[in-house]
Structure 1
Amino acid sequence: MSRLILLNKPYGVLCQFTDEQGRPTLKDYVLVPGVYAAGRLDTDSEGLLLLTDDGALQHRIADPRHKLPKTYLAQVEGEADEAALAALRRGVDLGDFVTRPCAVRRVAEPDWLWPRDPPVRFRKSVPTCWLEIVLREGKNRQVRRMTARVGHPTLRLLRVAIGDWRLQGLAPGQWREEAAPVVVRAAAGRRRG
């Protein structure tokens, strides 16, 4: 039976189990042998990270070819207007690639949100707003690069869902185990005819 762990990765934690520099890693939170992260979440991002001991499931979750939607909440600098949202929805040219179209909308700051440690830098003269962004790809620092390109740098980033798995109910550093879906592996012994 495969294991599937949903972790609320805190800010500042590396998405690996070891670090020669002594920084916080997954081993500080998940004491379950044999599981590995299915995908990554930047050190300065927070939220849902899935871990499993099933290589096929890990691949299915992390591989962009399966187009599993990933939902993020981003606190951005400034008041994102409809033109900025439309640019994000269409896809943004980041120089090394153009992002795929995505879903994005302005949302209120979640009432369940925990304070970040360290706190986000506050400036009285610069307003912020929150965006919900749903991607079906996941390049390195993609959300941060997208929002910066449209003039609204990301100040805080949380992943709140991967497919049907939700962060809901997990405080930073907490995890829960859920039933892992059965992944049908490619037919290795398929007859050729």
Structure 2
Amino acid sequence: QALSYLLDNPHSLSAAVTVGLAFAVIQITNLLLPGFVTRSLSGDSGLFGLLEMTAAAAGMVALAVVGIASIAERLRNLTPTILIAAGASLILFALATSPAVAVVLYCVAGMLWNVARAAANGHLLTVVDTTMIGRVQAFTTLLTSGFGLAIYLLPTMVPASEATLYMVCGFAIAVCVGGLSLWSKAQERR
């Protein structure tokens, strides 16, 4: 029922896929960060913990800031842009070779991931009919799980470094969101 509803409502379908992609960004970072820290940054568990802690703290602060009504209103229609920036943050983070630079980039990335996820969920709630929201959210959970499955299988299917996988995933997210935005706009004109 949710799938037929989404196929009949392009904005809702776009919003549902965007939620799945927003969670995928976080899944990618969780999967690849330990190997990236040891192999690309020559770090240890202390650096890993610092990266995780600073990204989480920066993400919380970003959510508090975008929760201010005037800022939230300005960001209202920018969910795809924020998610593309979150994908780009994976690419930039993958290029880091210095732990200090990595911490700064991971903080920025943490802010973008958290804001993208909140914006995607908020947008979903505004475009989906209230009688269908439960079914659509269940569908987005399936999408998120599907993205997660693909993400967790990726390192076993593609023998590449974590840095390369960060770049590939960041690029794929940006391309998917960009394509989805263009498709939604084309559907709107019909």
Greater relative contact order (CA < 8 Å, ≥ 6 in sequence): 2
Q: Smaller-chain TM-score range?
A: under 0.3
Give the alignment's TM-score, normalised by structure 1. Answer: 0.26
Give the alignment's TM-score, normalised by structure 2. Answer: 0.27
| Larger strand share, 1 or 2 | 1
| Larger helix share, 1 or 2 | 2
